[in-house]
Amino acid sequence: MSEGPPAAASAKMKADLIAVIPNLRAFAVSLCGNPDRADDLVQETLVKAWSNLGSFVEGTNLPAWLFTILRNIYYSEYRKRGARSPIPTAPSPRSWRRRRRRTATWTCSISASRCSNCRTISARR
């Protein structure tokens, strides 16, 4: 296995790689929930992508390729850890709405006795 980038790596491809880093980091934080671990995941992704840049077909979707590498690295780590750390699942939109409705604070500039919305909102609580 050769070290370093392939000789055919264009300046545009390098710029595209760098431009995707903030999005990769945001995706990594959404997966693992830890900003420090997310930075490590992004770094591992870039190292793996850079070493395999020869297998990437220029003109195809570079961000999708990088996101796939990042996701696969993350899932591989969970498989290695075993059953003690299950892959967390994102809450469904329906449960998120229920939780948001319970925790929302409602304020109104009109007194509650004259505002039909305030009575409706109070009835929901």
Q: What is the mean pLDDT of the chain?
A: 74
| Model pLDDT for residues 25-55, shown as the tens digit of each residue | 999 999 988 899 999 999 999 999 999 988 8
- DSSP H or E segment with residue 7: none
What one-character DSSP code corresponds to residue 91? P
Q: What is the pLDDT of residue 82?
A: 74
Closest CA to 56 of 66, 70, 45: 66
Range with top average pLDDT, 4-18, 44-58, 71-85, 94-108: 44-58
Whether the Cβ atoms of residue 53 and residue 6 lie closer than 8 Å to each other: yes
Domains observed in the chain: 11-84 (1.10.1740.10), 98-124 (no CATH)
Single-letter residue type at 31:
L
Angle, CA of 16, 18 and 79, to the nearest 5°: 100
Tokens matching residue 125: 């609580």
* Rounded-to-integer distance, Cα 30 and Cα 95, Å: 18
Q: What is the pTM of this model?
A: 0.60
The pLDDT of 75-98, averaged and rounded, is 65
